[in-house]
Amino acid sequence: MSKTMKASCRMQRGKGGKGARHCDRTNTQGAEHIDPTRADNNCIFIVKDNKLQRVEQGKGIVEANELDYYRKRYEAGRQIQREKHIKSRHYKKAEECTVEKYYESARTAPDQMLLQIGKASDKVTMEELEKVTKAYIRDIAQTYHTSNARIRILDINLHGDETTNHGHVSFVLEYLNPKTNCWEVNQKEALRALGYELPNKDRKRSRKNNEKVVWTEEVRQKWYDKIEELLPDIKIDREPDKEKKYNELDHEIGKKEQTLIALEDSVEALKAEKDKLGKESVEIEDYMGLMSQIEAFKKRTEKERKIIEPGNIIGERMLDRQEKELTAFQQQILAKIDKKKKPQERGWDYDDR
């Protein structure tokens, strides 16, 4: 009888050497979740001469392999770009136009695919994870491969020294630039050349409306398929487990709306106070300016409510940041209200004879 499990396939933006040093455990400082006594459970595979090779664990081995590929593959394009900078007298840009910078840049560093089967309480063995991951990556490399665009797998790192066994797969989506006839890391052009389009053609290209969103969902489903194919005793639960998270975020937005209502009441009270203060109210325009800003926040909150739904959740950091902004505005208005309510001492009036 098969058992139902969760699995994940997530994409992580490139971090260059930092990501590589995490994969081969060159740098584990501050990583309390890593158990060094279980380091022997880890496996490292690198792609060398188009062959997947298992290598002994060693510090810096992943970063060295990735940099070696970058130098061989992208140096020609970097040289052409340097010559353009020099011709335009942009000598500083020419000096910084190196393969090493190209490797470390967030836009052109290798991305990582994080693969996991099960959770801490119900996980697969390292042998099962290796079996599925290698077969899956082999299929991915063969599927997304044309004469002018492809996914290039650089290394596979399987970690068994953390709470849950999982894998990091470093890769680049590269594209053959027809103008320079040189390969370059370009996700948008590579995916377009592979036949991917915007999920919503009527809207502008954005973080949630781009070719990679479609491609990521496709490779995620392929990961689930490969697990069920090679581990027939496992049935993958493909439904996103985000209902609880949605309810939590929805509750937070509801709290914000209540805060906005309270702020609006305070401003209305302040407007009423304006009539009493008359000409002495020299700062009331500041309050009205804050009122318009609060209205802007309210519109943003209403927009968030439409966006947040199961399977399409706004990040917590954005919500936290907005919460701080709302609190700051609230404090500003309340401070001004308190100031107006306090009796002001009469100073020297030189015209009062």
What CA–CA distance (Å, rounded) separates 117 from 159? 12
Quickly state the pLDDT bin for 341 (edges 50, 70, 90).
Answer: low
96, 249, 300, 325, 344 from 320: Cα distances, Å: 36, 11, 14, 9, 37
Contact criterion met (CB below 8 Å) for 43 and 128: no
Contact criterion met (CB below 8 Å) for 167 and 177: no
Q: For residues 322-333, give the mean pLDDT.
A: 69
What CA–CA distance (Å, rounded) separates 165 from 123? 7
What CA–CA distance (Å, rounded) separates 46 from 212? 24
pLDDT of 39 reads 85
Nearest to 109 by CA among 56, 66, 163: 66
| pLDDT score of 138 more than 60 | yes
The larger pLDDT score, comparing residue 102 to residue 342, is at: 102
What is the value of pTM for the model shown? 0.68
Residue written as tokens 């290796």? 130
pLDDT of 191 reads 96
pLDDT of 120 reads 80
Q: What residues have CB less than 8 Å from 22, skipping those under 6 apart?
A: 15, 28, 31, 168
The DSSP-derived string for 112-127 is EEEEEEEETTEE--HH
Contact criterion met (CB below 8 Å) for 158 and 167: yes
What CA–CA distance (Å, rounded) separates 272 from 300? 27
pLDDT of 313 reads 45
Torsion from C-alpha of 192, 307, 14, 27, nearest 10 degrees: -160
What CA–CA distance (Å, rounded) separates 144 from 149? 8
What CA–CA distance (Å, rounded) separates 9 from 142? 18
What CA–CA distance (Å, rounded) separates 138 from 196? 21
Structure tokens at 192: 């377009």
Range from 2-11, 133-142, 280-289 carrying the lowest mean pLDDT: 280-289
In 39-191, the DSSP E strands lie at: 43-48, 51-55, 111-119, 122-123, 149-159, 166-177, 182-185
pLDDT of 170 reads 96
Quickly state the pLDDT bin for 303 (edges 50, 70, 90).
Answer: low
Range from 43-57, 139-153, 283-297, 339-353 carrying the lowest mean pLDDT: 339-353
